[in-house]
Amino acid sequence: MHNGAILSLQALKIDTKGMLTIRMKTTNIFRNCRGFTLIEIAIVLVIIGLLVGMGANMIGPLTQRAKLHETKEIINAATEAIISYGASNNAIPDIATFPAVVRKSTDVWNNSLYYILDDNLTDNTIGGICGRKSTNLELDICPDSGCLSPTNTVSNVAFIILSSGANLNNQTEGNLSVTSLTNRNTYNQGIDLDDYTTDMNRSEPYDDIVKWISLDELRVKAGCSGAQLKIVNNELPYGYQGSTYNATIFADGGVPFSSGGTYNWCRQQSAVSGLTFAPLTLSTDCLGEDESDWTQANNLIVSGTPTSTGSFSITFFVRDDNDEAADNDNIVQKTMVLTVNPQPTAAGGCADYRVWNTGGNNDFRADSLSAPCSTIASGNEVTTSLTLNAGETTYRYNTPNGTCGGGTPGSLSYNQAVTADADGNCCVGFNGSVATERNCS
């Protein structure tokens, strides 16, 4: 096969000798071939032109979409940087510190990111992130330019980061550090408006890119654990009837007051006599009491001498300064039981003893040689304010002139009182040389 010719099968014949005979003819391969007409070429060129035009029209939207995605990633990275800063410092950066904290503080159009925050969260000495339960920043999600009926209101926003978008016009808000309750708006894309006219005073379709983080979300991501405010004590120490009692209730966390005492206190209790509480605020409904009725102090102290035995329920309330202008403070309560036991038996000795003067009018020092000197009339109690405790001694002087002088005093030791107290009521008499059993009246 050569010279543009091909072989085609013409006939097939087998002769008497078994030989195969093939008859062939040649055909010119180019006999029926032809080229494209001008109309066909024109149609192809039109189709190619349409495809090229369609591709060119898509370049702009695809580029804008890529820039939008990149800016969202920049804002996400800035958000994570602030959360990381908060986890390390229990506070978020202020506006001046913001550019140094985030990895990139400009969007893809080279405009600076905007930062809106609650100023209270920048100071970890007044509660910071973990101590607070509310913020001064709210955000409305608006379906129209007037925002008359927001589709949602986000309360307790910690901070907002935004980009002015492709039109380079910030239509939401500039950098802002709020110190009182403030509401900001964000809108559905494409709504014609301009809420922030400082950079460009022109109304156009809204395209700002906005991201916000609530306080609860920030607390979780920053690793805050436990309650914002708590009462540290889990129980009260037990006491003894007629014996000095002391206990301190401690609080921790929350937003402490800057002066006048760290927290406000209130208590509800069943009847317990002989004890004093500082602060004194007592109510049947502490949660219903106005904040001005609570009393401010670092801790609440219980002291005095219980006069009756039993178990007494006391509920302690503490509130902080989370909300200076209103009643949205952290408030916690804890109920504890104070058990007042009878004095131990004489065999074991009492925790302390009350002593009466069973001699004439004389001078006494109630528990040591350095204690104040008092003249006690015959039959009166020597230990009105001070009791005789283990290791102590009560001294009696002969001269009733309030100087505790004039010779060697008689002495009553704690061990002598244990021996004299036969009925274990923790009360004894003393005449200067002999201790005797006595009732407590």
The domains found in the chain, sorted by start residue, are 69-221 (no CATH), 229-341 (2.60.40.10), 352-437 (no CATH)
Could you give the angle at the alpha carbon of 238 between the alpha carbons of 371 and 438, nearest 5°? Answer: 55
Please state which of the ranges 52-61, 185-194, 254-263, 331-340 shows the lowest mean pLDDT: 52-61
Q: In this predicted model, what pLDDT tens digit does every residue of 206-264 receive, in sequence order?
A: 999 999 999 999 999 988 887 889 999 999 998 888 788 999 999 999 999 988 999 99
Q: Answer whether residue 403 shows pLDDT above 50.
A: yes
Lowest mean pLDDT segment, chosen from 327-336, 337-346, 418-427? 337-346
Condensed to tens digits (0 to 9), the pLDDT of residues 134-184 reads 999 999 999 999 898 999 999 999 999 999 999 999 999 999 999 999 999
Of 21-35, 223-237, 282-296, the poorest mean pLDDT is in 21-35
Using a pLDDT cut of 90, give the percent of the chain over it.
57
Residue 32 confidence class, pLDDT cut points 50, 70, 90: low
Q: What's the pLDDT at 165?
A: 94
Instruction: Provide the mean pLDDT of the chain.
Output: 86
